[in-house]
Amino acid sequence: MSLQRLDAHSLLEQLDRFDALIDARSEGEYALDRLPGALNWPSLTDVQRHQVGSTYKQISAFEARKRGAAMVAHNIARHIEREVLDKPKGWQPLLYCWRGGQRSGALALVLEQIGFKVTLLEGGYKAWRNALRADLPPQVARLRWQVVCGPTGSGKTRLLQHLTQAGAQVLDLEALACHRSSVLGMLPGQAQPGQKQFESRLWDALRRMDSARPVFVESESKKVGNLCVPDALIAAMRSSPCVDLQLPTAHRIRLLVQEYAFLASDTGTLCQQLALLVSLRGHAVVNRWTALARSGQIDTLVQDLLDTHYDPGYQQSMVRNFSRFGQARPFALPDYSEQTFAAAAARLVQDTQELSGGSCGAGVGST
């Protein structure tokens, strides 16, 4: 039996046909990025890679290969004992490592000798990464986008959640990026993924979308926290139909206080994040905000942030960046209750279906 090999571009369309995707790189490489759903079976751990590299430099390549081979053999044995003994003969995994195929090839050889049908990814993760980046723009282009706009605190993310519950297709960039996009947008206990992993998550979400149905997305800027939204997606969003979500200011304040309760209870972190706005708003304004935070006047702080930082220039920014925002349909909500958002999501799905029935390219914001 000979090993099967598959190039990265072909794998883009065949990713789901394998029973398992196995990443033979170290745990550190795997943590940075991997194929969607891949399992990590390191042929060499981070520590072992360092040991082999040191042996290569300090002694010889031959000695490094001997020691590395022993480590790889031990690791493969453990993987088989832990993961393979219960697998049926028809189990079909795809294996990959960084590029050269030595680490994945060693594991593949053993699995093939057992009797499994094993496929190796040609060019490894590096080839996959290049293929994925090239496939992002076509994935974006095949979809019809509906952009949910609205000022800070209007409930855009909450509406997206209810749209998902209503059966609509939603691309939640903030969930993929583990960040709420603003300077105060960190999520408690969650670090953002790296740029590569963010793009992998994005591609995996896009490929699962039905091109016959619209995709709702929030009107994000080019960056979500520290991560950059790919240019093709930003361009598509900015030229797509929009809906303008509106919520009374008093309810926006209460919604923000509710959603950012973790910051309100952690004054030190809140003040630290507010300090990042000194370059934009100056020391006097930021000092006023931190004083409000320390005195527990959170509602007043939120009101001041909206008036001084978030709301100024919002309309101009939207008109400047989203070409169809001027034709956006106003979508006014009386309050921020779950029932209100659920009803709004159901109505938005129905309206979009009706408009799409009249014209394949029409959307909620179309006229």
Query: How does pLDDT run along the chain (367 residues), one tens digit per residue?
Result: 568 999 999 999 999 999 999 999 999 999 999 999 999 999 999 999 999 999 999 999 999 999 999 999 999 999 999 999 999 999 999 999 999 889 999 999 999 999 999 999 999 999 999 999 999 999 999 999 999 999 999 999 999 999 999 999 999 999 999 998 888 888 888 899 999 999 999 999 999 999 999 999 999 999 999 999 999 999 999 999 999 999 999 999 999 999 998 888 899 999 999 999 999 999 999 999 999 999 999 999 999 999 999 998 788 899 999 999 999 999 999 999 999 999 999 999 998 887 666 433 333 333 2
| Stated pTM of the model | 0.91
Q: What is the pLDDT of residue 117?
A: 96
Q: What is the pLDDT of residue 139?
A: 98
Q: How far is CA 141 from CA 138, 144, 232, 248, 320, in A?
A: 5, 8, 8, 35, 22
**Phi then psi for 362, rounded to 5 degrees?**
-80, 155
Asked if 203 and 142 count as a contact pair (C-beta separation under 8 A), the reply is no
Residue ranges, CATH 3.40.250.10, the chain: 4-133
Q: What is the pLDDT of residue 354?
A: 73
The DSSP letter of residue 190 is B
Known catalytic residue: 97? yes
Both tokens assigned to 301: 């702080």
Q: What is the pLDDT of residue 228?
A: 97
CA 36, 38, 42, 43 dihedral sign is negative
Q: What is the pLDDT of residue 120?
A: 97
Residue ranges, CATH 3.40.50, the chain: 142-358
Angle between the N-to-C axes of helices 61-79 and 46-58, in degrees from 0 to 180, rounded to the nearest 10: 160
Q: Which residue has the tokens 């709420």?
A: 180
The DSSP letter of residue 29 is H
Q: What is the pLDDT of residue 252?
A: 97
Secondary structure of residue 249 in the 3-state scheme: helix
Amino acid code (one letter) for 304: D
Which CATH class name applies to 4-133? alpha beta
Q: Which fold has domain 142-358?
A: Rossmann fold (3.40.50)
DSSP output for 121-178: ETTHHHHHHHHHHHHHHHHHHTS-EEEEE--TTS-HHHHHHHHHHTT-EEE-HHHHHT
| CA–CA gap between residue 212 and residue 275 (Å, rounded) | 46
The DSSP letter of residue 321 is H
